[in-house]
Structures are given as structure tokens and as C-alpha cells.
Amino acid sequence: MKTKKYFGTDGIRGRVGEGKINPEFVLKLGWAAGRVLCNGSSGKVLIGKDTRISGYLFEAALEAGLVAAGMDIRLLGPMPTPGIAYLTRTLHASAGIVISASHNPYYDNGIKFFSASGTKLPDDVEKAIEAEFEKPMVTVDSAKLGKAERIEDASGRYIEFCKSTVPHSLDLSGLKIVVDCANGATYHVAPPVLEELGADVVVIGAEPDGFNINKDIGSTHPEALQQAVLQHHADLGIALDGDGDRLVMVDHTGAIVDGDGVLYIIARSRLAHPEGLQGPVVGTTMSNLGLELALKELGVELQRTDVGDRYILAALDANKWTLGGEPSGHIICRDRTSTGDGIVAALQVLASMVMSESSLRDLSMGMQRLPQILVNVDLGKAEPKTIMENERVQKSVKSAEKTLKKDGRVLLRPSGTEPLIRVMVEGKDAPLVTQLANEIADTVRAVTA
């Protein structure tokens, strides 16, 4: 099939004003999407965004393009990505559009789409939008122009949905929780969810100004959360990213529980209840070997995919499995929602804590994370495939694998966004893992020189 020209694995993303992330492109993208989604009849599309300053610009551009194609618009304002997916489904929209660059700095932005069912758009629809994009932009007759309305209770609807993913009887009274909203789209959603369930909530990262999204805060910078948990003597901390689809947690000692740890806790909790866990847990090639071994102790298989929540979701849906995620904190509870959701995942862990009368630290101790070293090697202008298939590089990898035997893994993969090869080695012996990762990286550098 023809390779897509504009859409990547997670929509279209880049630096504002450069490449495709500019008003002219986004206007035409909205029009092209409207033409495909409308399919000769009327329909409505939801538009939501995170808190970065350029959201106003691209919201207006998308709105104009969609209206010109005859589509009605429902504006959600700042809203977590999973909230937009949920509302797209429940409001019976033709699609949902997210204006966000997720965990990136404020000067980046992006556009991604959800289908009417709240999942990522199928490849054939993205290709149809790209094909329409190449045509001259023509505005429909004035009588057929779309209209735009703002949904005033969007956040309230999503808050109620989040609470519905845990038992109605769940009471978080007695738990002191620090929540870090990364100055992003969850700033007006995550705190009320926890407060309405009875928790004593300390909020950080909930003062967005358009420029501070993800800046030294949130799931990609959990140091701020660790400090706040210790400072406030909290039971745990929850860190989300700028668009709310990633989750990292911190226990009462300040120790980080990443996506692998969260997956383990949720999987173990699911096994203890009648609905159970359907199928293997789906991780990626970057999921820690410690997770695989801990799940094996529970009698659960870890099925690995390529890096990216898109691939995890595809595996879950194809096999009707229910749980998957990445170490970065993309957690998909497919029995609860249609996409990765940081708030929903956090609630599943909190429910497990309450029902088992255990601390986050107690629950996470069942999984021992093995030392994992990641070294990024700059490729310059070299082709990743050529370097990875190089005889010297392959020999270095095989030598490391022979040294580790069954007690570790070696993975080389090209970055999807930068001219890098990522060298990952994990095993039980930290000094050995570091040594082997650096040896392979040195070989890659020698070959690219």
C-alpha cells in the first residue's frame, strides 16, 4: 500500500511555523478531513486542545477548514486527549481532532484524529484525507457551510466518565495524593476526579500560561512530583503529561513507579476479580524484562509490539485482549476505554490499593525492574537500516547476547523522530549491562564515522 505522506504513527507533529505545523497547512488539512468525513452529507467534528499557546491558532484554522467543507464543529477547549476520544464516541461525532504535541515543549504542536468510535483513524481514512489534500480547496455553497458551537460541560462529562471506570463504592478518604498536571490539559479535570472520590489532593502543575506545558514538570520530569510527595508527606503522587495520556506514579518514599510497574499492578488486580484479565498483557520491545518475569510468576504472558501505543491498541483490538502499555506511561485499559488514559489508569491503581488495603509501594514490589541502559547514537546522514545490518554491529550484538544468555536482552532500533539509533541492553548485572551497551554503541559510532 502507498506510504502516507503527512500522517505519522501518532498524527502530524512538529515545531510551530516550520514544516507542516503552520496555519496554511492546518487550514487545508481541516478542509480535506471535512471532505472525507462528510462524505457528501452533513456531520460534526469535535476539536479539543491542550494548553500550549499555539492551540488558539490551529483551533481557528481547523475550524475554518472544516466549516468550509460543510462540517459542523463542537469546540471542547482544553481537554485531555483521552477525554476527546471519549466525547467523540458518546456525542456520536464523525471524528474528534486533538491539537497537541503531548509531552513535547510548548513550541511544538500537532494534529491527530479519532474515529467515531474513539480510536485512531484507520490507515485508509488517513490516506483518503491526504489524497483530498492534494486537490484545490473549494468552499461549499453558503447554504451548506458548517456551524461552530462550544460544549460548555465537556470537562464535567469527562470527569464523570473517569469516575465510572472504578467501582461506585470506591472511597479514597484517608489518602493524601499529589497530582501533577504538567501545566497541561488535565489541570481542570484530574484534581476534581480525585477530590470527588474523597481524596485529600495536593495539586502542582495546574497553572498553565501557554508556555510552561511539560516544562520541568509532569510525567517526563517526575522530580517535581517526588519532591512534593515527600514535602507533603503524601501517600503517593500521580504525574500526567501535557495531554493526559501518560502516567507515572510515585510512592510514599519518593520511588518512581513507571508504566511497567503500573501495568503489573493493574494486571495483578484484574486477576483477583471475576471479570479477570483477557489474554496476555501487551507491552513493547522497550518493556522491562522484569515486567515479563513478574507477569510470568502470575501465569500471564507479555506480548511485545513495536514501540508506540498505536501498535499496542492494534494488538489488543485484533485479539480482544484488555490491557497494554509502555514504560513511558501510555496505559490502555481496553475494558474501560478506547485509548491510553493517564487518569483512568491511575484510578485502577488506586482502586487496587483501597481494595487490597495496600500501599503503592507494597503493590509495586512484586515486580523487580532489571537494570536497563539506553544509549542514543547520532547517525548523522547514515541510513539506520544500513548501520543496523552492518556485520560489525551484528557481531557486537550477538557477542553481548551470548554474554547475557537468558538473563538479559539487547535491542537496537532507529528513532522515529531523530537521526539516532537507540542501543538498549538490560540484564541482572548493572555494571555488565552498562559495559555491553557502551561497547555496542562504540561499534555503531565507529561504523558511522
Given a contact cutoff of 8 angstroms between Cβ atoms, the answer to whether 360 and 349 are in contact is yes
Given a contact cutoff of 8 angstroms between Cβ atoms, the answer to whether 62 and 314 are in contact is no
What are the cell numbers at 246?
501518560
Q: Catalytic positions, please? A: 102
Residue 321, amino acid: W
Given a contact cutoff of 8 angstroms between Cβ atoms, the answer to whether 81 and 98 are in contact is yes
Strand-pair category, 323-325 with 331-333 = antiparallel
- Find, among 162, 174, 168, the residue nearest to 353 by Cα: 174
What are the cell numbers at 313?
491498541
Given a contact cutoff of 8 angstroms between Cβ atoms, the answer to whether 177 and 237 are in contact is yes
Q: What is the DSSP secondary-structure string of 16-31? A: TTSTT-SHHHHHHHHH
Report the alpha-carbon distance of residue 228 to residue 371 in Å, rounded. Answer: 26
What are the cell numbers at 218?
509532569
SS (H, E, C) 54-103: CHHHHHHHHHHHHHHCCCEEEEEEECCHHHHHHHHHHCCCCEEEEECCCC
Strand-pair category, 44-49 with 72-78 = parallel
Report the alpha-carbon distance of residue 281 to residue 340 in Å, rounded. Answer: 14
Measured in whole angstroms, the distance separating CA 432 from the mean position of its chain's CA atoms is 32
Q: What is the DSSP letter of 162?
A: H
Phi, psi of 280 (to 5 degrees): -70, 165
Phi, psi of 383 (to 5 degrees): -80, 125
